[in-house]
Structure 1
């Protein structure tokens, strides 16, 4: 039986083979932290005394502005000791300042091994000589699934440092049930679909209309990559329709009858068959309905029996071809419907967005369909985010005018925060005016969501107040340790949501009425402090 090496043994093997520095991709934050602890418990070190001294100097310099009490909360000393061993974790739960230090030390070849989630593979300059994949599956939020060939290439693409390594190395660690052929298939595929997630937003619509006018804005969107993908899919559908129409012509010829129009005759037969099936299934129909259907069935039978093709000796042979004809014809109609739905999809979404904006007086549309911005529309040009319409309407209706700075920070947080799947449903909320403002905002969201659905738009998620109390406390000046306990979040997660809250508060300070803009600036100052201020630099 093959024995799986533990992580310190794998690192030692890589070191002996001159394959460090290395990135181990582990698809969970907890797994990354546990891997660092495993190396720590083993007592292994992968740095020289000179490298350890250099690491300590860099760490001290990069973190000198952090408060002493915050360092204790963040586990600073253990983190620094692990860095001096030459190992580190890298994931979204880490403080951004800590991640930046890890990246710098890895680039300088002082940290030899990083245990990272797959987010490291996106947009961060941390090339390694070797990439290690401990498993070829990950949890996607619902189930454990195999990684795709595109993900495999994205991860292993970190191996090989430009100008340093002639080649990079990708190591897939053995696990029970590992299929070498599956690994080879992952590694050998070199073409991957690129799918656009682009869709127009309210902010985008008002900015495009303001700059180019509605007609030109529509043309711009019709030339987008998302529309190109939809049109490219239409090409395939159109080819299917063409092939099917050729087959339909062949079926029509095969079912032709010397006695008369067999397509007409088979249509009567199909209608009769459908009505008889409906009559059998709908046993609870009223007596009046059943009598009406029976009369229709009798009339169809008479028409069928009087039709010239009913006397044809090859009638059933023709009927088999007719069945194929009508079945394929239904497929053609379905394909044509898909083509109609996909042609001009992005522009159609834009038109629906303009309709919503017009109904709320953000734009005015004249008889020719041209659109111009109102004062409210000009304000919306400067409001960005997933809930841009909700923010703009809340500001216009004055829903937040009674809030103080901490409460406005909490409300802004509720508009940007996305709760974890496992987050408890009910969380404590700030008291006072915040609760009334949140309730009014949720009522407004429901009205807007109904309007969007009536306009065949997807809508947005409702505000989520799970982090509101913690953000309220932070904006009031509560210490970091208490806020993180209240939030039940890692420091890096809290900082990320705080920075998004700052972004929305900054927008409010620029577009809100003067009194609320002043409150927004005070809220900004309350949130942008300590580790949040450091990470905002």
Structure 2
């Protein structure tokens, strides 16, 4: 059995049985890119000259529609394979304009095979005639785990095009990581219960306290979906504990079994009690953290709290402390962008490290101290990513500011093994945080102007043009 079912074999079989276009799901970006390299070498995947010409025309139409930079599209490493074979890799490591191009080509029916990671199933709507699943597990933060019923439904749900196919096909490609029996069992499971990702974050609390009291906040939190679901789960645990107590009183059991059941009952009751209080405890943590950092006094916003409430970002505490302590004062545009970028990255992502960062190390030391002080003052709920400092992220953004064009910059990224999509996301997140700082024009006018200039310097084509085009299309639609 194959360790990983070859993309060339899948493509040839689907083509023979008239099951194209198809989406081939892989578990990693590297697999997607390797599949494209393999397909590029296969003679059986090559389009006829007339088909290639037709595909080129469609590519140009998409470029014109979204006003994309032609040079960036044509210089993409996978562009020759796209035209030659009508296949492309779609994953978060790709630049937005490339992903958008593939989505449009798939929607127009001219892309024969899209190799994608499973995450694309949840975020993009472009069905195909056939979907091929190549793994029954998925990589998570804690290693590999079995795919959920909802994830399988999202992937298999891409099979079948409205108005073109009377039926869609979902195929499982066998390998040591892809067992059709396991996937069949997953398909029988009901969807996962609805979960709420809401919590009373410091940013939310600051904004609401401009118009409401602390008591109002407690009432709002108690009526939230998160509280409702917690109460529901607490009721279930309490019910199970009562059933166990009833069984324990009516059935005879040896002392060891009785102790084990009593221990389980106590654990269930403690968990139920904790769930009933969880959302209010999260709110209290935010209130306590804000008070320790000087944003609140006796449940009301201080002067610092009022201007910090304008920073509608997950980094509100870190940015507010940096501003209040004067770290961002009298900085050059590049320095401000670098400092903000240093706390805007995603952990475990690779950023540029092949050049020395031009920003003073003392600035980063002070930023790290701010991060540590905020962490000591405010305890985040479990599962929420901690803020970390990445000098490589700062180097990446400064390098982009200094680059003449994305083509030049992309060459450096490929040399360093850095994914363009990860860098685009870093730049976008940094620009969002800078935009929030630029809103402080009433209390910190010079800093706001510097932040606005920094944002304009990093949010330039191609990172801005496709975003603007898609937003315009949404408004017109």
**What TM-score do the two structures reach when normalised by structure 2?**
0.85
1:362 deviates by 1.6
Counting only pairs closer than 5 Å after superposition, residues 370-381 of structure 1 correspond to structure 2 as: 371-381=299-309
Report if aligned partners of 2:438, 2:447 keep a CA contact under 8 Å in 1: yes
Aligned to 1:36: 36
1:459 deviates by 7.9
Local SS of the residue matching 2:211: helix
Rounded to whole Å, the distance in 1 between the matches of 2:115 and 2:425 is 21
Report if aligned partners of 1:449, 1:459 keep a CA contact under 8 Å in 2: no
1:173 deviates by 1.0
Report if aligned partners of 2:129, 2:160 keep a CA contact under 8 Å in 1: yes
1:127 deviates by 0.6
1:236 deviates by 1.8
Report if aligned partners of 1:24, 1:132 keep a CA contact under 8 Å in 2: yes
1:217 deviates by 2.2
Partner residue of 1:74 out of 76, 88, 99: 76
Aligned to 1:521: 452
Counting only pairs closer than 5 Å after superposition, residues 195-344 of structure 1 correspond to structure 2 as: 195-246=195-246, 330-344=263-277
Local SS of the residue matching 1:467: helix
Aligned to 2:188: 188
Equivalent residue pairs, number: 461
1:210 deviates by 2.6
Rounded to whole Å, the distance in 1 between the matches of 2:127 and 2:221 is 37
Partner residue of 1:443 out of 351, 369, 387: 369
Aligned to 1:400: 328
Partner residue of 1:511 out of 406, 424, 440: 440
Greater alpha carbon shift after TM alignment, 496-505 vs 508-517:
508-517
Whether 1:430 aligns to 2:352 is no
Report if aligned partners of 1:32, 1:89 keep a CA contact under 8 Å in 2: yes
1:427 deviates by 7.8
Aligned to 2:294: 361
Could you say if the C-alpha distance between residues 375 and 47 of structure 1 is closer, same or farther in structure 2, counting changes exceeding 3 Å?
farther
Greater alpha carbon shift after TM alignment, 408-417 vs 522-531:
522-531
Could you say if the C-alpha distance between residues 357 and 427 of structure 1 is closer, same or farther in structure 2, counting changes exceeding 3 Å?
farther
**What TM-score do the two structures reach when normalised by structure 1?**
0.76
Rounded to whole Å, the distance in 2 between the matches of 1:5 and 1:353 is 49
1:103 deviates by 0.5
Rounded to whole Å, the distance in 2 between the matches of 1:379 and 1:502 is 19
Report if aligned partners of 1:47, 1:84 keep a CA contact under 8 Å in 2: yes
For structure 1, the residue ranges without an aligned partner over 5 or more in a row are 255-319, 366-370
Rounded to whole Å, the distance in 1 between the matches of 2:452 and 2:318 is 20
Structure of higher CA gyration radius: 1
Aligned to 1:135: 135
Whether 1:91 aligns to 2:18 is no
Partner residue of 2:402 out of 440, 457, 476: 476
Aligned to 1:489: 418
Deviations along 1:449-480, one digit per CA (max 9) or x if unpaired, are 11224999978332222221121122234541
Could you say if the C-alpha distance between residues 105 and 141 of structure 1 is closer, same or farther in structure 2, counting changes exceeding 3 Å?
same
Deviations along 1:153-207, one digit per CA (max 9) or x if unpaired, are 2211111123332221100012258654323212332332333333221111122
Aligned to 1:125: 125
Aligned to 1:16: 16
1:69 deviates by 6.9
Report if aligned partners of 1:495, 1:535 keep a CA contact under 8 Å in 2: no
C-alpha RMSD of the superposition: 3.3
Rounded to whole Å, the distance in 2 between the matches of 1:321 and 1:172 is 49
1:422 deviates by 7.2
Rounded to whole Å, the distance in 2 between the matches of 1:495 and 1:455 is 28
1:66 deviates by 6.2
Report if aligned partners of 2:434, 2:452 keep a CA contact under 8 Å in 1: yes
Could you say if the C-alpha distance between residues 412 and 486 of structure 1 is closer, same or farther in structure 2, counting changes exceeding 3 Å?
farther
Rounded to whole Å, the distance in 2 between the matches of 1:418 and 1:103 is 25
Rounded to whole Å, the distance in 1 between the matches of 2:337 and 2:160 is 45
Deviations along 1:280-305, one digit per CA (max 9) or x if unpaired, are xxxxxxxxxxxxxxxxxxxxxxxxxx
Local SS of the residue matching 1:532: coil
Partner residue of 1:382 out of 269, 287, 310: 310
Rounded to whole Å, the distance in 2 between the matches of 1:116 and 1:536 is 21
Greater alpha carbon shift after TM alignment, 110-119 vs 53-62:
53-62
Whether 1:107 aligns to 2:101 is no
Greater alpha carbon shift after TM alignment, 23-32 vs 329-338:
329-338
1:147 deviates by 2.5
Local SS of the residue matching 2:297: strand
Report if aligned partners of 2:55, 2:83 keep a CA contact under 8 Å in 1: yes
Rounded to whole Å, the distance in 2 between the matches of 1:206 and 1:104 is 41
Could you say if the C-alpha distance between residues 124 and 456 of structure 1 is closer, same or farther in structure 2, counting changes exceeding 3 Å?
closer
Report if aligned partners of 1:470, 1:486 keep a CA contact under 8 Å in 2: no
Greater alpha carbon shift after TM alignment, 439-448 vs 468-477:
468-477
For structure 2, the residue ranges without an aligned partner over 5 or more in a row are 469-477
Local SS of the residue matching 1:402: coil
